[in-house]
Amino acid sequence: CQPPFLDKHCVDKEEQAKERGEEEAPAVSATGIVWDKDYFTSIQRKDDGTPAGPWDVTYNGVDVVVTEIKEVLPECIQVSFINQEGTALVGRIPYSKIEKWEDKA
């Protein structure tokens, strides 16, 4: 079962919002980090070029473990993640819906 919070169509929604002049503001962490395209581009890969991760993420009130950032888009990121049931999935997370993004301990 796929979590209801994944936004598979964020790119279409981004384009429609831009046409209406309604871009969403990126989310900001408690420590002042702006979760946007620049931030996720900077953490997507390790110094040696391999994929970074994993991270503990809360998005729309649901906790998941993001194992890899697949693609960084203007308004969202495409990620591989493990849901609360332990199922590996791929989905898109709009920046504005991120509530927590931390390195997994």
Q: Over the range 11-45, which residues count as b (16 or more CB within 10 Å of their CB) and which as e?
A: eebbeeeeeeeeeeebbeeeeeeebbbebbeeebe
Query: What is the pTM for the complete model shown?
Result: 0.74
pLDDT of residue 21: 53
Ranges under pLDDT 50 in the chain = 1-5, 8-9, 11, 14
